[in-house]
Amino acid sequence: MSVLVPLPFVLPLLGAALALVVRRRERWLRLIAPLVVAGVVAAAGALVAAVARDGVIAVQLGGWAAPLGITLVADRLSTLLVTVSAAVLLAIMVHGVGEGAGGLGEHEPGVFYPAYLTLTAGVCLLFLAGDLFNLFVAFEVMLASSYVLLTLSPTRERVQAGMTYTAVSLTSSILFLTAIGLTYAATGTVNLADLSTRTAELPAGTRTALAMLFLVVFGIKSAIVPMHLWLPDSYPAAATQITAVFAALLTKAAVYSLIRVETLLFPRDDLSWPMLLLAALTMLVGTLGALTHDDVHRVLSFTLVGHIGYMLFGLSLFTVAGLTGAILYLVHHIVVQATLFLVSDLMQGLTGEITLTRLRGLATVSPLVSVLFFIPAMSVSGVPPTSGFIAKLALFQAGVDGGRTAAYAVTGVAVLTSLLTLMAMSRMWALAFWRTPRDPNDLPERPHDEAARGGIRIMRAVTVAMVCGGLLIPAFAGPLTEWSHRAATELMNPAPYVQAVLEDR
């Protein structure tokens, strides 16, 4: 187990180094990178099996016992998210391989593959980090690689978006480092398990101040309203498969960090009023923004913002049921949001357009793409029996079971937001798929080159696989809900986590 836990982080780092060595050999890159990410998926799956068998697994790197050393921790929540994230990263990687092999889009293999593997390493380290400082390191690894990916094939728009993204990210990182320093000054440790006992001894005012500072830090990184304005201006500027990665994982990594910090460092027995208010605002503002834009990527980006509010709602209830719903929503949204952006890439490839007012008649042009859009669109809207319905139903039940007026009110907002999301997706469907088709002469010419056609087939196959992956969530709703419930129980009762990390102290 001491080797297996760091493997999802170490493998992509080694792969990124190897990709830099062979960066001028694109065929090697197209082989090495997917194999490395597939290895991460396999290692993550083995970790899930190990945690199911043995419980929480903690590894002290370098032989330094906690809380002094670097601690990696695998529990039910972290292994679930590492596995789902690695699977999505692999799918998008294969999509990128297809695009590059077909000579389609904008592809810089000597930069794309090393940066993508480094981002994969950062994501896995974040989910497995057992202390605040390495959580910070993981965010910085993700920031460095994501800036490179955002500005691939640089244009004025991408450089401007990259500057906005980096400025906001660095601001939140400075606040994060400040929060870590203040926490260390108050407690003498940054180890999460050790902090779970020490923060309870702090004065109430100090605990509240630290909790609010961490909420701001992760609120910026996860685009919680009113700290969300950077996201719709940054994500749509990137290449579509890069936007799919960002939308699927970067904000969810911040939500995971907020869940981990709030439940370990600042547990409570009642509702969090600030979080409830922010959750309601995030759901409403994000979804209303999606209804007012015509660019498909901006619509999806605002939808992403709105649905971060659902996860925050589950956390704000501070109950096992609420956290179960938040975990289910994390898994659902990682898969479905990435799928929607990959479908938008197919839509753009068919028409050369990404604006709703210029997209039309896609149901006639490509019935397959129509189906591939419809399924995840209904899922993100929460239509039965999709994964979105299952996750939302769990959150609605948790809100009603909370027995507080505030929880009832935010549950009502969540139901309203779900209906507004359905309106936004229906509007996209009506404008892009139902209207009179454009003149075929206005559509981009279909590629005649066999390599390009093969690349398109790979991209479509990946998107089909992602849609099927989204359908697997409701198909296995029982086991997934049980796993999520046990993960939520561990979050609310962190004694096994603390014992696994500090057993040698």
335-385, pLDDT tens digit by residue? 999 999 999 999 888 888 888 888 888 888 889 999 999 999 999 999 999
- The span from the CA of 459 to the CA of 103, in Å, is 12
Instruction: Supply 135's token pair.
Output: 């959580």
Treating both helix axes as pointing N-terminal to C-terminal, what angle do 367-381 and 405-429 enclose, rounded to 10 degrees? Answer: 170
Instruction: Supply 374's token pair.
Output: 């419809």
Instruction: For residue 147, tell me if it sits in a domain.
Output: yes
- The span from the CA of 44 to the CA of 51, in Å, is 10
User: Tokens 């999505």 sit at which residue?
Assistant: 88
- pLDDT value for 140: 94
Instruction: For residue 195, tell me if it sits in a domain.
Output: yes
- pLDDT value for 444: 65
Instruction: For residue 1, tell me if it sits in a domain.
Output: no
- The span from the CA of 341 to the CA of 96, in Å, is 13
Mean pLDDT value across residues 93-112? 77
Q: What is the band of 156 on the pLDDT scale with cuts at 50, 70, 90?
A: confident
Q: Out of 68-72, 282-286, 448-452, which region has the weakest mean confidence (pLDDT)?
A: 448-452
Antiparallel, parallel or unpaired: β 57-61 and 70-74: antiparallel
Mean pLDDT value across residues 79-97? 95
CA nearest neighbour of 333 among 286, 263, 366: 286
Instruction: For residue 326, tell me if it sits in a domain.
Output: yes
CA nearest neighbour of 230 among 238, 222, 240: 222
Residue 105 has pLDDT above 70, yes or no: no
- Which region holds residue 152: left if phi is over 0, alpha if psi is between -120 and 50, else beta? beta
- pLDDT value for 110: 83
Residue 412 has pLDDT above 70, yes or no: yes
Q: Out of 128-137, 236-245, 414-423, which region has the weakest mean confidence (pLDDT)?
A: 236-245
- pLDDT value for 421: 96
Instruction: For residue 36, tell me if it sits in a domain.
Output: yes
Other C-beta atoms closer than 10 Å to the C-beta of 367 total 11
User: Tokens 């032989």 sit at which residue?
Assistant: 63
Instruction: For residue 2, tell me if it sits in a domain.
Output: no
- The span from the CA of 187 to the CA of 17, in Å, is 37
Which pTM was predicted?
0.95
Residue 64 has pLDDT above 90, yes or no: no
Contact present, 437 and 79 (Cβ < 8 Å): no
Instruction: For residue 431, tell me if it sits in a domain.
Output: yes
- The span from the CA of 142 to the CA of 147, in Å, is 8
Number of domains the chain contains? 1
- pLDDT value for 136: 96
- The span from the CA of 164 to the CA of 158, in Å, is 10
- pLDDT value for 103: 56
How far separated are the first and last CA of the chain, in Å rounded? 19
CA nearest neighbour of 162 among 246, 97, 222, 219: 246
> 444 is in which domain, residue-wise?
7-502
CA nearest neighbour of 142 among 230, 43, 246, 214: 246
Q: Which helix (H) or strand (E) holds 58?
A: strand 57-61
CA angle 150, 288, 157 (to 5 degrees): 25
Contact present, 325 and 486 (Cβ < 8 Å): no
Q: What is the band of 38 on the pLDDT scale with cuts at 50, 70, 90?
A: very high
Other C-beta atoms closer than 10 Å to the C-beta of 505 total 11
Query: What does the DSSP 8-state code read for residue 130?
Result: -
Q: Is 437 exposed, middle or buried (0-12, 13-18, 19+ CB in 10 A)?
A: middle
- pLDDT value for 87: 96
Q: Within 13 A of 456's CA, how many CA atoms are on the CB side?
A: 14
Instruction: Supply 191's token pair.
Output: 């180890």
Mean pLDDT value across residues 27-40? 93
Q: Which parts of 441-494 fold into alpha helices (H)?
A: 450-475, 477-492
Q: From start to end of 389-497, where are the E strands?
A: none
Q: Which helix (H) or strand (E) holds 328?
A: helix 320-351
CA nearest neighbour of 100 among 28, 157, 176: 28
